[in-house]
Amino acid sequence: MELEEGIRAPLFIFIKSRSRKDGLETYRVKVIDDHPESFANGSMKFVNLTQGGLYLIVGQDQEVKKSMKPGGHINHQLPEGFKGNLPVKMALKNAKGMVPAMNSRVFPSRSTRDLYFIWPVLTNTKGNKIRITTLRERGDVAKQRLSSERVE
């Protein structure tokens, strides 16, 4: 696999694709630059791990309103002085249009960087159609980790 030019600290995300007819599972690989200069404190990345398109709205004033393809991601930088939580709304795209999928909140911080994985809910029940899990790290810790991993 060739990386895009400029990626200094690749983070590989394996996204399960639909199963093949022979029963084997296949995966797509998403690469995100995990370097603290590209993914700084106060940054958020939302990654779509569903099989379909999503529409994402983030923020009190709906600062982010974007579509995401399967395997796609959206970046958001928190404003200076941010404290508290952010509303997050998502809808799934299907042949008939948009289906509400989630209306919740996330709790980012200006002192960390957050990666939000958006997963499908596999049971057919009432409530959210997707779920979010968070990977959080402080940028200074990432810099330390990356500098100690270098091989001369």
Cβ atoms of residues 40 and 14 within 8 Å:
no
What pTM does this model have?
0.83
For 47-72, the pLDDT digits (tens) are: 999 888 999 999 988 888 999 998 89
**DSSP 3-state assignment of 146?**
helix
For 62-114, the pLDDT digits (tens) are: 888 999 998 899 999 999 999 999 999 999 888 888 888 999 999 999 999 99
Dihedral sign (CA 85, 128, 57, 55): positive
**Residue 24 and residue 47: Cα distance in Å, rounded?**
24
